[in-house]
Structure 1
């Protein structure tokens, strides 16, 4: 953090500039309303900057008591000191511009300066309120601990209401670097305009698109209206809106960006891990059974994405006859993506994963775990841990010898990485050789801390959004749990139906889809082992090589724009490993790579596809299935039951959102106190919040590298967890980057500072991979 003199300088400069402006306007002959409002705003600013300076000086005296070390300084207290300084600098720039304009012969744009100065008054007043909360937090907390023993409700009841509107209007992103400020403004305008389309009663894509384009301009030129819209959306919108907005990163346009501006990859595959028990050796030599994930959704395969800049010997789905293969890598990175446990996928995080794979020259396996609220805790952890265990057993199929295995994740994915390590200790199996986590929530509960209050002004992670994600994953609504049980029964019924050679694909947006494979007559012996394969034969991005079509021309598949949940029919318990290896080599689902060899350039052909806009889609592609050969009475009954269930679920969902969807004007809502968001409880479970893990378990951890940012609501989580590992004499590093928001890794190609942050991640990963 910067030294105190710089903080004091900006306060004094702002006071001096305000006094100069006051003198200028008091001697002015003008007596207009604008002049009176400007004078009043300057007087209030003078008062607020004095209060801000006093509080900052008070916090600076004890903020260093909470640092990780003498070298690594940073915590929520220091963050708000920087926020206060940034706000004063923002006001200083406005006051200087005002002075230059008012000193000219003709003073124009007076209404603009009125709005700027009044907004800055509100900004400093709100920051003063936040600083007062911090002083109270310090009194409530034990010495040296950033988490308070009091509840967040108690905290917000003790102080004044914070005006959040000033953080999302003219001052939006004032605390971040210049490059990030422009990105955040663009995203905020997009969020506001997207909400109009989302809650619009207009029907049809054209009408909604027109409305969205019009509203984008409105929110660009009217910051106050944008601020009101964003705050009201964050406080009142359901988790469905959060998911829908964040899933814009999964659109076709956004999915094309990594292949255009990202590093080139030779391997980019979607692999389906079957739901079969895995047996792994324990340290004592005996084997332990790892059960497949079963909570909430039942037994469904897990999707993982394999990324590599090189094709390596033994790598799943690769044939050495096309080109010379590289030797297997000594290392493997297993990655879990962020998204608040409710959104995004490995695809939306591919931009920085490509850079990591290229710089580290290491295969990366990214897990597409199921998302809340349909799959709340502990489903995501079960799938992530199961994928890790599968990777341990099949490193050779991933282009690695498995000599070094490192877990890496950001945000929610970082939490899962820590929980995977806890599971490894519980089962007594091989632990990862290192763990890298970025801006990680290690305490999944809103226990108040200084950094947690940053979400009151965070453009990417507003307070309301964060609370809904927390509730959806850690404390789901009882109705959601009942629906999960009903869905699980339906899926079990479908799974038990005797329907050979059919792979069911369930997507909540488009209904129920069947993927069918009509195997060649000379491959009847493959029926037994079809379900026990590692991977799906469909092509995720709608491209399929003729190599696959030539070898099994009767296989047809439906591909979608988004990855569905796949439910494989259990055909047999036993399988032939010889067939498995052959199947993997030929029919792995693969996204188009950036470089296609000359021998393969003419072999790319499109597959059948449907869009998610088609409701209640029921498509069969195999001729035998179209003729009804494989659809028995049991399957028909199961499908009918399931379709009825899905329709009733949609009705429930619509009824649940009727209040918000029927609002004629969302901007008419009145801002609520943050305390109303805490109407739920979160269990104190170490597999949910690794912070609660016992010391004897954390003693078993490998080296941990933690990276976070100074403006992150999860900053204190990272600092406290690093200090906890340090007290246990565990090897741990902590990096605190400045000027970046939570989730900055998704903007590496648009911000120089974000790219530098990604390079620091690569550096830490290299250290973990090279550790003896």
Structure 2
């Protein structure tokens, strides 16, 4: 029978044959898995901090593999148990298999790396590798499998963040109000594939202002700590006025003058937030009840946010709990943010705040005895950098301890095994990391801003009939001004939307529960050929003539509720090859559309090149891994805290080893299981994150020498 007559009939495939085919597909994807995992396991021990502290990016990748395989086993088990039921949704499990197999496929392609290259060498040869990794299709990580590597409580947080990121991107790109964005957002809740596509799109294209705006959404929840966290006797945002240099004693018996911050935006007051669970003399206003004498301890804190976002206010969820447990003052520095205030402005402000607190201990309810510096993420980088600067300046009064939490210690466009995890992290995606690094050094050479326009009809997922005529789209696009077209990198993308719906495969459930029925008017011919010729489905495939009107009616009734089965079943080339058809778009992609997509990819690559072409200085005051062994040996006791699944894990391992090998005092390296970067901000909603916060608190108490932990 020829293809034309085939398209006028109904295709039916035995469901059990399709399930067996799914098993074969998994075997194809996992063919090299065992060998690759063995290779990673052989390399991992050589990169650990020590034998008693196993952990590095190689081990993290093995952990990801294990999690994926278990998810696949779970999906196949569900298929085996429920496949004979009438309500069994084969298409749903097809999508599940596709998602996790795609994760394996991507991970196999990019896992063969060392922790970091030679820091004293030439970095240019690594740019191409970084570019290829950044251009990988990472949509498989942000769909159904989003947050798969974390415990359920954290996975729910990440799925919420993913939906929020997709919704927020609509408002940012199109200038739509927040309410309008939420009205168009249900598809991101109901369709994981569309959410994944949106997340990948925005993480590759958004500018630094978008990243800042999204991360600053946490500021809207600043009232939450007042309800669910301990009440503070003191919670004030204060200013340290710039009245000239601050004098500190030096190690040689002289004095060191700490200049007031002035880089880029000139002198202005440094903001700090002071928290205390109890009223203390001088710290609290006169007449405050139950005033205690000054505490011998003070915790000096710097918040995270990639140097570009958030404030101490959004970090109160854990700072309040720490203030109560430690019963001492906490000072959190509100340092100025990039890109308006790039390096070294934040370092200057934190250094100045430290010098002021040392010189005016009583103002903060502190006797001046012991001070511990702690910072999460970018804040950890800051406290370490400031301490190194104190050492270089010869300041006598150094901190009594430093605690860094999931912090970066090398701000360069360099890869490591753990940094590959950023491909699946919506909070710390590789594209976002690159823009933050560029913003820190004020070297970003392009900016989309709010003028960035993407011409996409927001109803194309719901109004199928609009896309039946491509001229409709062309007429709509013709009304766009030439100036807008020049500013629109993705002009003509609406034509590509047409191809998405052209190959939709509509599943029809007829009376036979053992077969999968496909609408003859909607399925792709290559899928027909594939099912007819594959040995697992060939003998179970038969055709049934059916009224075309009935088929169309059934298709419209079921099509919008059921998932696509055609876009997973085609055997594809590796994802990083240029001719690899994107999942869900391969069957009906016209040559013209393919040319447009390649052109779009070329534009994206050129913008990526614009970011990384600017050389980042090898300065230990922003990348402590460049510090000399002599300076590292003089560091106060350091406690490192990182997460096995954090993209910045290798930064911690590498820097801790360098400090130890230089003669520095590394008191502990804690590697926490199953926690994400930024877990301190999720302590109110995740018991695992609360346990991680307790580890941080324990290390602070050790730095203070408190007897009761």
Please indicate the TM-score interval, normalised by the length of the shorter structure: 0.7 to 0.9
1:566-577 equivalences in 2 (<5 Å): none
CA distance in 2, matches of 1:34, 1:409: 55
Query: 2:253 aligned with 1:279, yes or no?
Result: no
Among 341, 357, 362, the residue aligned to 2:328:
362
Q: Which residue of 2 aligns with 1:53?
A: 34
Q: Which residue of 2 aligns with 1:386?
A: 352
- The 1:201–1:413 alpha-carbon spacing in structure 2 relative to 1, beyond 3 Å, is closer
Q: How many Å apart are 1:278 and its aligned residue?
A: 1.1
Q: How many Å apart are 1:162 and its aligned residue?
A: 3.3
Q: Which residue of 2 aligns with 1:197?
A: 171
Any unmatched runs of 5+ in structure 1?
1-29, 203-207, 481-653
Deviations 1:342-384 (A, max 9, x none): 0001001111111111111121000000001101111111111
Contact 1:42-1:117 at 8 Å conserved across structures: no
1:405-424 equivalences in 2 (<5 Å): 405-424=371-390
Q: Which residue of 2 aligns with 1:687?
A: 621
- In the alignment of these two chains, the number of paired residues is 554
Q: How many Å apart are 1:116 and its aligned residue?
A: 1.6
Any unmatched runs of 5+ in structure 2?
1-10, 448-482, 498-596
- The 1:141–1:91 alpha-carbon spacing in structure 2 relative to 1, beyond 3 Å, is same
CA distance in 1, matches of 2:120, 2:49: 11
CA distance in 1, matches of 2:216, 2:486: 19
Among 41, 60, 66, the residue aligned to 2:47:
66
Q: Which residue of 2 aligns with 1:743?
A: 678
Deviations 1:417-470 (A, max 9, x none): 001101111222211111010011000112221111111111211111111001
RMSD (Å) for aligned C-alpha atoms? 2.9
Query: 2:445 aligned with 1:445, yes or no?
Result: no
Q: How many Å apart are 1:476 and its aligned residue?
A: 2.2
Query: 2:82 aligned with 1:93, yes or no?
Result: no
CA distance in 1, matches of 2:31, 2:398: 54
1:541-690 equivalences in 2 (<5 Å): 659=488, 676=609, 678-690=612-624
Q: How many Å apart are 1:729 and its aligned residue?
A: 2.8
Contact 1:129-1:159 at 8 Å conserved across structures: no
Query: 2:249 aligned with 1:249, yes or no?
Result: no
TM-score between the two structures when normalised by the length of structure 1: 0.68
CA distance in 1, matches of 2:366, 2:63: 45
CA distance in 2, matches of 1:745, 1:249: 13
Among 106, 109, 121, the residue aligned to 2:89:
109
Q: Secondary structure at the match of 2:222?
A: helix
Q: Which residue of 1 aligns with 2:227?
A: 260
Q: Which residue of 1 aligns with 2:457?
A: none
Q: Which residue of 2 aligns with 1:212?
A: 181
Among 195, 201, 214, the residue aligned to 1:226:
195
Q: How many Å apart are 1:161 and its aligned residue?
A: 6.3
- The 1:110–1:683 alpha-carbon spacing in structure 2 relative to 1, beyond 3 Å, is same
CA distance in 2, matches of 1:185, 1:666: 30
Q: Secondary structure at the match of 2:30?
A: helix
Query: 2:273 aligned with 1:305, yes or no?
Result: yes
Deviations 1:120-152 (A, max 9, x none): 221221121122x33xx47x957xx99997743
1:692-731 equivalences in 2 (<5 Å): 692-731=626-665
Q: Which residue of 2 aligns with 1:43?
A: 24
Contact 1:452-1:716 at 8 Å conserved across structures: yes
Q: Which residue of 2 aligns with 1:240?
A: 209
- The 1:110–1:370 alpha-carbon spacing in structure 2 relative to 1, beyond 3 Å, is same
Q: Secondary structure at the match of 2:104?
A: helix
- The 1:141–1:283 alpha-carbon spacing in structure 2 relative to 1, beyond 3 Å, is closer
Q: How many Å apart are 1:301 and its aligned residue?
A: 0.8
Query: 2:365 aligned with 1:399, yes or no?
Result: yes
1:172-191 equivalences in 2 (<5 Å): 172-191=146-165
Contact 2:134-2:430 at 8 Å conserved across structures: no
Query: 2:317 aligned with 1:351, yes or no?
Result: yes
Q: How many Å apart are 1:404 and its aligned residue?
A: 0.2
Q: Secondary structure at the match of 2:314?
A: coil
Q: Which residue of 1 aligns with 2:703?
A: 768
Q: Secondary structure at the match of 1:71?
A: coil
CA distance in 1, matches of 2:165, 2:322: 29
Q: How many Å apart are 1:743 and its aligned residue?
A: 0.7
Q: How many Å apart are 1:679 and its aligned residue?
A: 3.0
Q: Secondary structure at the match of 2:185?
A: helix
Contact 1:45-1:120 at 8 Å conserved across structures: no
Contact 1:377-1:474 at 8 Å conserved across structures: yes
Q: Secondary structure at the match of 2:415?
A: coil
Q: Which residue of 2 aligns with 1:84?
A: 65
Q: How many Å apart are 1:50 and its aligned residue?
A: 2.9
Contact 1:146-1:449 at 8 Å conserved across structures: no
Q: Secondary structure at the match of 2:427?
A: coil
CA distance in 2, matches of 1:663, 1:436: 51
Contact 2:485-2:491 at 8 Å conserved across structures: no
Q: Which residue of 1 aligns with 2:282?
A: 314
Q: How many Å apart are 1:324 and its aligned residue?
A: 2.7
TM-score between the two structures when normalised by the length of structure 2: 0.74
